[in-house]
Chains A and B, each alone.
Chain A
Amino acid sequence: MAAPGGFSGSDFKAEETVFLGFTRTQLIAFLVMVAVIAVSPFFLYPVFLMKVLCFALFACAFNLLIGYVGLLSFGHAAYFGMGGYLAGHAAKVWGFTPEIAVLIGGAVGALLGLVIGWIAIRRQGIYFAMITLAFAQMVYFFCVQAAFTGGEDGIQAIPRGNLFGVIPLSADITMYWVTAAVFLLGFLFIHRTIHSPFGMVLKSIRENEPRATSLGYRTDDYKLVAFVLSAMLSGVAGGIKSIVFGIATLTDVFWTMSGEVVLMSLVGGLGTIFGPVVGAAVIITMQNYLAEFGAWVTVIQGVIFVLCVLAFRRGIVGEIGNWLRVRL
């Protein structure tokens, strides 16, 4: 029995896929998104856009778990923050080129996800959320004490370096195209994962885990692989964020960051492919404009949480999809 009002996307008749596993509507939406990414740096501040893209990738990675496996991780800041720290350390202290540094960030995220995921998938539902939150707090305390993270100061002045050792990234617009490429690769990777046979098994676990088990799937293995993929992409997102902004701090590993990524996915639409991207854009824009109001940002985020849960559970993209009767 599927839980009523669960975190699944809307159930519409399956459309034919036309390209790369996209349905016709999804392909149009994807092309619109690519067009927006291509055009916007000519109108908007590239550093702001890069922040949106980093968080969009982070939110997409988070959504892979909640939207397609039904696992609510409340500790994704750990993978994002540690990915950021290690990528920053690799670029600054070890002198790696940015692409290697970001890959190291992803690898750290994956490794951490493997250890934490292996333990956390022993419990389900709210226990899973509490366990992931607790482990993320443990990672936070580790980062407070460890020497390489720089404690309260964080790692500062991380060099952007030269891509592949040849293309300098110091210009914001060059950095923007690289960030956009990383985001699109991550996005397509997640999309491909969801629409693979592996992704179908994940969705069956979300809908009815006992039945998936009875059909002979080792659901724990599937959940762990999904968890590691999600953590890896969160690490990549954290890594590229460190390279873009030249800084990695405790904020990125704190529990509030875990809450923010949940909020982004919720606002955009849990279990939709494009929802987390829209949600990240909305929340980052809001933070940008409300930054001067200090603690009011927290209050407003809380209010959005409450409103979304009480009245707006499909999120922005989910509502649009429901209105157009398509899966987005």
Chain B
Amino acid sequence: MDEIFGIPAPLLFGQLLLGLINGAFYALLSLGLAVIFGMLNVINFTHGAQFMLGAFVAWAMLNFLGLGYWWALLLAPIVVGLFGVLLERTMISKLYKLDHLYGLLLTFGVGLIIEGLVRNEFGSSGLPYRIPPELSGAWDLGFMFMPVYRGWVVIVALVACIATWLVIERTRIGSYLRAATENPALVQAFGINVPRMMTLTYGAGVALAAFAGVLAAPIYSVNPQMGSNLIIIVFAVVVIGGMGSILGSVLTGFGLGIVEGLTKVFYPEASATVIFVVMAIVLLLRPAGLFGRA
């Protein structure tokens, strides 16, 4: 099994793995966007900046406090999530009664502020973040070498996605959330504090983005632009999948990562644009998105 369709097998599997990893980040980020959008009706343009912030908090914890990767994986989402809670309480919540587009403009502005501040502090070039020793090295899978950390990212992202799905579909608080997404006024009438749920939902979505940021820190270099470059692709992923379904976002995220990886093997020139082309095709054939409700 040295060649598949005339392509050397290690190259094909290597790109497939890279695609799967990118897909893991698409899935985690689009999942957070979908959860926030479902509850708040706000498309969170700060999501990319919050992802980047997660990576930077991890870097700062290591370099200023001596707290390693495992602490960062736990604490960075909490720190950034609390920041999200603050943001929702002080600003975003003032806009619910207005046109939804104002929420978009506000979060875009906050994203610019965060990105600019981080660039002022740390510069535009990337900062290195070492792979934790427990996860360095590679497994020999027989047909290819698999860096342990990359496998870890895919597995953890999958677990995080499934856990989010379980919380929303199988727990009491998740049922409140789904009900409040359908009809907030009615749920409020039953005595559930809907504004607080919105705050917590936003905080959780932001924490998910920061969690993805920590996972990304050892793979991509930690730099101020890492979020904005990624989030525009994630917006396309969200348009393709539709924001109606949790599993839909996860499947679309991983699927498009793989499509991108395969494009790198067979037609590298198009690898940067293939997701946007898929978006155009989906919009022509199924405007509501693959899993969306019209």
Contact = CB atoms under 8 A, between A and B. Distances in A.
Contacts of B105: 262, 266, 305, 308-309
Nearest to B281: A119
Contacts of B120: 294-296, 299
Which among A130, A305, A308 has the greatest number of chain B C-beta atoms within 10 A? A130
Contacts of B97: 4-5
A131 B279 contact: yes
A248 B235 CA distance: 27
A301 B113 CA distance: 8
B293 interface: no
A168 interface: no
A98 B25 CA distance: 46
A3 B109 contact: no
A7 B228 CA distance: 26
Nearest to B236: A134
Contacts, number: 130
Interface string A1-24: 001111100000000000000000
A309 B105 CA distance: 7
A138 B232 CA distance: 10
A135 B276 contact: yes
A145 interface: yes
Interface string B60-91: 00000000000000000000000000000001
Interface in B98-152: 98-102, 104-106, 108-117, 119-120
Interface residues of A, number: 45
A198 interface: no
A308 B280 CA distance: 33
Contacts of A123: 239, 283, 287
A313 interface: yes
The SS class assigned to the A binding surface is: helix
A259 B108 CA distance: 8
Overall SS of chain B's interface: helix
Contact of A119 (B104, B108, B280): B280
B111 A4 contact: no
Interface residues of B, number: 43
Contact of A134 (B101, B114, B232, B272): B232
B116 A298 contact: yes
Contacts of B101: 7, 72, 125-126, 129
Interface in B24-43: 37, 43
Interface string A99-137: 000000000000000000001101101110111011101
Given A255-B228, A310-B91, A122 B287 contact: yes
B273 interface: yes
A310 B232 CA distance: 24
A313 to B, nearest CB: 7
A310 B109 CA distance: 11
Nearest to B106: A309
Interface string A305-328: 110111001000000000000000
Contact of A131 (B106, B112, B228, B239): B239
Contacts of B116: 295-299, 301-302
A298 B115 contact: yes
Nearest to B271: A141
A304 interface: yes
B225 to A, nearest CB: 10
A122 B283 contact: yes
A119 B287 CA distance: 9
A31 interface: no
Contacts of A120: 283
25 contacts: A4-B98, A119-B280, A123-B283, A125-B100, A126-B43, A126-B100, A126-B104, A129-B104, A130-B43, A130-B238, A134-B235, A255-B228, A259-B112, A294-B120, A296-B120, A298-B116, A301-B116, A302-B110, A302-B112, A303-B113, A305-B110, A306-B109, A306-B113, A308-B105, A310-B91
Interface of A: 3-7, 72, 119-120, 122-123, 125-127, 129-131, 133-135, 137-138, 141-142, 144-145, 255, 259, 262, 266, 294-299, 301-306, 308-310, 313
